Amino acid sequence: EPPSNSATIIQGPSLLTMTGVHRPSPSLFQLPGLRSLPFWTAPESSANQSQNRKHRVAFNDPLVTTAVEYVESNYESIRAEYFASVLGQGRETDLDSGKVLKPLEPDYDVSSKGGEHADDALHSGNWDWHSYVLNGSKNEKFKERCPKTAEVIDTLEKEGLLFGTPFGFCFFSTLHGNSSIQAHSGPMNLRLRMHLPLVVPKKENAGDQESSHARPTTGIRVADQVREWHEGKAIVLDDSYIHEVWNDANSPRVLLLLDLWHPDVRMEEREKIATMFSYAQEKGWIGQAKK
């Protein structure tokens, strides 16, 4: 008799690929019955900025709306902490004062074996992570240097919104100029991923003004939908769809990336899912076992 918190693995049929129909295609785990959309936030444009905010989040979902509005309300503080902790701007410069702090260094090798993003062919160029939550574990050094950002994430966790499994992430994502992340899908449909854009490259000249049929210089595609980032305006997406990211500009694109529980996953299910994945991680079946 299997334990009550076990999962049933079912051999499924072969999946059709390269079709014109876009559906979630997680690489590891799928929970049936969850509402599904490539993007859960409406695109930003001059035409819709004046619309009532209740139309911005898909299904008018209250949990996703709460998370979006709370994170956006702290945009200025989060952005300032990125510039201070990662770029070293605005800090003490007197080397003899003892107050000069070394900028945070990237803390995740995107090509490391066993990781969710471990595919040498997936990345082109440079992609830096400065993580608060990495594979579900918190980085106390980040919290010391970015206390307000950490407070925002901790508050989401207390409210039951932060995705609490070994597949949960929160980090400053810096995609350098002329870099890209090729099309891929996330491991499961249990989470929604939020991007809070902090730095978005400006269009350098009139030639950068893309036509309606060309992809933007810096952007993201989820399924068949393409979006641009706007500083301070959060995007929520379902990364279990095929998605890709690119920055063809000459300067970095920076955002705070964080994972939320899909709002349709019930509390009882969340607890059992978290237990299941933690057990698998301890056994070394997924990611890196905790030490």
Predicted confidence (pLDDT) per residue in 190-221, tens digit? 999 999 999 999 976 545 455 556 889 999 99
pLDDT bucket at 89, cuts 50 / 70 / 90: confident
What is residue 271's three-state secondary structure? helix
> Sheet of 127-134: strands edge to edge?
137-138, 127-134, 170-175, 253-261, 191-199, 235-237
Q: Give mean pLDDT, residues 238-257.
A: 97
pLDDT of 51 > 70? The answer is no
Of 55, 40, 78, nearest in space to 260 by CA: 40
Q: Give mean pLDDT, residues 123-138.
A: 94
Phi-psi region of 207 (alpha: psi -120 to 50; beta: other; left: phi over 0): alpha
Which residues neighbour 233 within 8 Å (Cβ) at sequence distance 6 or greater?
A: 44, 72, 197
Mean per-residue pLDDT over the chain, rounded: 86
Structure-model confidence comparison of residues 240 and 97, the more confident one: 240
Is 251 within 8 Å of 177 (Cβ atoms)?
yes
CA separation for the pair 99, 96 (Å, rounded) = 8
pLDDT bucket at 55, cuts 50 / 70 / 90: confident
Integer CA distances (angstroms), 197 to 9, 16, 21, 129, 218, in order: 38, 34, 29, 14, 12
CA separation for the pair 21, 116 (Å, rounded) = 25
Report the half-sphere exposure of 52 (CA within 13 A, side-chain side): 3
């898909």: which residue's tokens? Answer: 58
Identity of the residue numbered 23: R
